[in-house]
Amino acid sequence: MNEQELAKQIVQHLDRDLDRIKQGSLYQLQSARLAALEHYREVPRQSFALAWAGDIAFRITHSPHFNLRNLVAAGMLVIGMVGVTYWQVVIKSYDIAEIDANLLSGELPISAYLDSGFEAWLKRSSQ
């Protein structure tokens, strides 16, 4: 038996004696049902699951502070951070390639070969 069949049987069972209930009692039952549904919608559900990203996305999109302006600002921030990171990686690799090319072609000044920090590092690492 699947969920739909079970739900149909429950509805049939509940509707069977519906004609015997007084109109005032029906109204009270209906108002209690609506109040319970409203309370159910307002109560935050806590669940311990691995799918927490969907809950965060739901809370963000249903927040009163969620609007197009904030979405564009967050998108620009992410694009800016990706751009700066990419730029730093590209510039660093270009600098390393330029130093290697100058080193191989002999166009580096003599001070580049006389790095005192490198010698100090060699002395410390050998001890």
Give CA separation, 116 vs 34, 119, 122, in Å. 80, 5, 10
How far is Cα 69 from Cα 37, in angstroms, rounded to an integer?
A: 34
Sorting pLDDT into bands at 50, 70 and 90, what band is 117?
confident
Q: What is the pLDDT of residues 2-53, one digit of tens each?
A: 888 888 888 788 777 777 888 888 888 888 888 887 777 655 666 655 555 6
